Homo-oligomer: A and B are copies of this chain.
Amino acid sequence: MSDSKKREQEAIDAARVEIDRIDGEILRLLSERARHVRDIGDAKQRLGEPIYQPDREEKIFERLIAANPGPLDDGAIRRLFERILDEARRLERSVYRDDEDRGR
């Protein structure tokens, strides 16, 4: 392998180490986010409020897209956070379901 190819390969390996570190941080933040979502689900249930609040979700998208520094385009940011909010809704629903199962 030529020196320049070796340097390219080292740059790739170093970027992958960084990506693995970032993925670990994202996992930690997604889990922390999910704990708050679960708490909100519990509180909403006690208040008798609906889970799905499209206005709140639309505001989340708008704010994040306005703050998007790139290089991901706005469509990518929307698709990524749609997935995050989708999983949040799924988790909130499972909180409700568990309580129904227990006959609350």
Question: When the two chains form their complex, are residues B15 and A47 in contact, meaning their CB atoms are under 8 A apart?
Answer: no
Question: When the two chains form their complex, are residues A33 and B39 in contact, meaning their CB atoms are under 8 A apart?
Answer: no
User: A64's closest neighbor in chain B, by CB?
Assistant: B27
User: A48's closest neighbor in chain B, by CB?
Assistant: B5
Question: When the two chains form their complex, are residues B22 and A29 in contact, meaning their CB atoms are under 8 A apart?
Answer: yes
In whole angstroms, how far apart are the Cα atoms of A35 and B71 in the complex?
7
Question: When the two chains form their complex, are residues A25 and B15 in contact, meaning their CB atoms are under 8 A apart?
Answer: no
Interface size class of A (residues with CB under 8 A): 35 or more
Shortest distance between the CB of A24 and any CB in chain B (Å): 7
Chain B residues, Cβ within 8 Å of A20: 60, 63
Question: When the two chains form their complex, are residues B12 and A43 in contact, meaning their CB atoms are under 8 A apart?
Answer: yes
- Decide if A58 is an interface residue (CB 8 Å cutoff): no
User: A5's closest neighbor in chain B, by CB?
Assistant: B47
Chain B residues, Cβ within 8 Å of A18: 32, 36
